Amino acid sequence: MPTQPLRTQVGILGAGPAGLLLAQLLHRAGIDSIVVDQRSREDIEETVKAGIVESPAAEVLATTVSDRVYRDGAKHDGIAFHFDGQAHRFDFQDLVGRSVYLYPQHEVLKDLIAARIDAGVAPLFEHTATSVEDADSDRPRIVGTTADGSGFEIEADVVVGADGSGSIARIPVVGSQQGGFFREYPFAWYGVLVEAPPSSEELIYSRSEEGFVLISSRNREVQRMYFQCDPATDPASVSDDEIWAKLQAGVTTDELKRGPIFRKDVLRFRSFVAHRLRHGRVFLMGDAAHTVPPTGAKGMNLAISDVLWLNRALREFFGSGSETLLESYETDALDRIWKAQHFSYWMTTMLHIAPDASDFDRRRGLGELRLVTGSRAAQEYLAEAYTGWDYGVDGWRD
Ligand SMILES: Cc1cc2nc3c(=O)[nH]c(=O)nc-3n(C[C@H](O)[C@H](O)[C@H](O)COP(=O)(O)OP(=O)(O)OC[C@H]3O[C@@H](n4cnc5c(N)ncnc54)[C@H](O)[C@@H]3O)c2cc1C
């Protein structure tokens, strides 16, 4: 153990989008923070995860971190649903006057890490937290070990758990890593990264007799595609030919552009909301507080909402000493969290076919897709949620 713990105002566990963005917003308000992460900078900047940035999230990133999301991101004015041999486009601009941006999460992370380094407070990489202590005191601590095996300790006025879906910061907040409301799904996504040009300029969400397919993209050279699979599937057990057959079965109109498949993985997912988002001086946000199935592209965008609420509360706390907004953080954040949970659940169940689906379930599912694509009101509902509800939080622009 170090003789002297590092001391800061806000100790942030996790250098994902949530932790790094909070550090950036606090820095703009003159509030000190230290961010720790178990991974190396290189690993964080190379891990391919989220791709779709909602319209309000793009504005937050462009205003407070970097406008690369607008300069280098691809603006998508819609998505397509393919089912029953037909393609239906949701024209977001026409429906709600908004777009989303295809700007991969690792690019967001590069921008956020560069901003931390520019501010002279680089995250502490390769620092693995083993516990968060003293939540009930006014000096909570993050305790852990560095890559060389030595101990570290960060003592702060407030500790924020932004350590993702396997969060250890949940333990002092809800009593265990699992304490929360959740729902499991009987299917997973088989995902591939392919070296090929885009097959479609916009995302294609498809539901066929075989189940769900998503045709997505990372950039002009690398494409990300998924099909529904059994959660127990071994990624190595599926041949390239089988992969292309499954993907092609979901696309009703176009021949997919093929190329070498250089990564195969199986992504299991569930819906989860922690029982509490705060205990004493320890707060949860982002995937540590909640996870959603990726179908609605909500995870990172939702994390940004938590960041904005917590940023507002911490600015008030360090500015005036008032805990009023810290006390309302959980209620404030949960409003959007449950809306996003519903939207992600709805998109997931509408577009997948459960392994035990009856003929009734399959036909009802097609009826739902026809209803949604055949009604302007339903299309607006989807477009408004997909492109992002306004955050409705102040205190982040300055
Ligand atoms: C395939 C896929 C597609 C997705 N698509 C989208 C999308 O299009 N749009 C969208 O908005 N979201 C999407 N998401 C979700 C999005 O990636 C997550 O919601 C987002 O990463 C959450 O950010 P976070 O900062 O809360 O957590 P994370 O990104 O998980 O970051 C947590 C960090 O904490 C660190 N950490 C964890 N434990 C410890 C520890 N004990 N000690 C030190 N460090 C620790 C981790 O190393 C990690 O860097 C997708 C996710 C997946 C998997």
Identity at 386, one-letter amino acid code: Y
The pLDDT of residue 329 is: 98
- Identify the domain containing residue 34 by its residue range: 6-61+68-74+102-183+271-354
Residues 217 and 260 in one domain: yes
Q: Would you state the pLDDT for residue 3?
A: 54
Within this chain, do residues 23 and 142 fall inside the same structural domain, yes or no?
Answer: yes
Same domain as 207, residue 193: yes
**Residue 292, domain member (yes or no):** yes
Of 173, 251, 259, the closest CA to residue 215 belongs to 251
Q: So which residues are the catalytic ones?
A: 76, 205, 294, 298, 386
Neighbours of 90 (CB within 10 A): 23
Same domain, 167 and 224: no
Same domain, 201 and 344: no
Single residue among 267, 288, 316 that ends a domain in this structure: 267
Residues 276 and 292 in one domain: yes
Residue 93 belongs to a domain: no
Pocket test for ligand 1, best of 300, 337, 343 (most atoms within 8 A of CB): 300
3 state SS of 206:
strand
Q: Answer whether residue 96 is part of any domain.
A: no
Q: Is the CB of 267 under 6 A from ligand 1?
A: yes
Q: Whose CA is nearest to atom 39 of ligand 1?
A: 163
Q: Are residues 262 and 278 in the same domain?
A: no
Residue nearest to atom 44 of ligand 1 (CA): 37
pLDDT number for residue 194: 96
The answer to whether position 338 is within a domain reads yes
CB of residue 300 inside a 6 A radius of ligand 1: yes
Last-in-domain residue among 245, 267, 289: 267
In a domain, 209, yes or no: yes
Domain membership of residue 259 (yes or no) is yes
How much is the pLDDT for 42? 97
> Is 86 part of a structural domain of the chain?
no
Same domain, 38 and 119: yes
36 lines ligand 1 (CB under 6 A): yes
Residues 160 and 219 in one domain: no
Indicate if ligand 1 lies below 6 Å from the C-beta of 298.
Answer: yes
294 Cβ closer than 6 Å to some ligand 1 atom: yes
Ligand 1 atom with the shortest distance to the CA of 301: 11
Final residue belonging to a domain, choices 267, 294, 316: 267
Q: What is the pLDDT of residue 254?
A: 76
In this prediction, residue 1 carries a pLDDT of 52
Whether residue 374 lies inside any domain: the answer is no
Q: Which two tokens stand for residue 271?
A: 């819906």
pLDDT of residue 398: 85
| Best mutation site among 37, 133, 160 for ligand 1 pocket (most ligand atoms within 8 Å of CB) | 37
**Which atom in ligand 1 lies closest to the alpha carbon of residue 288?**
26
13 contacts 22 by C-beta, under 8 angstroms:
no
Q: 195 and 171, same structural domain? A: no
Atom 41 in ligand 1: residue holding the nearest Cα: 129
The CATH number of the domain where 106 resides is what? Answer: 3.50.50.60
Q: Residue 48 has what pLDDT?
A: 81
Residue 265: alpha-carbon gap to chain centroid: 18
**CATH number (domain holding residue 260):** 3.30.9.10
Same-domain pairing of 223 and 321: no
Give Cα separations from 392 to 57, 93, 312 (angstroms). 12, 21, 12
Residues of the chain with pLDDT under 50: none
Provide the number of structural domains found in the chain.
2
**Ligand 1 centre from 164 Cα, in Å?**
5
Q: List the structure tokens of 71.
A: 């300069």
170 and 195 part of one domain: no
Give yes or no for residue 171 CB within 6 A of ligand 1.
no
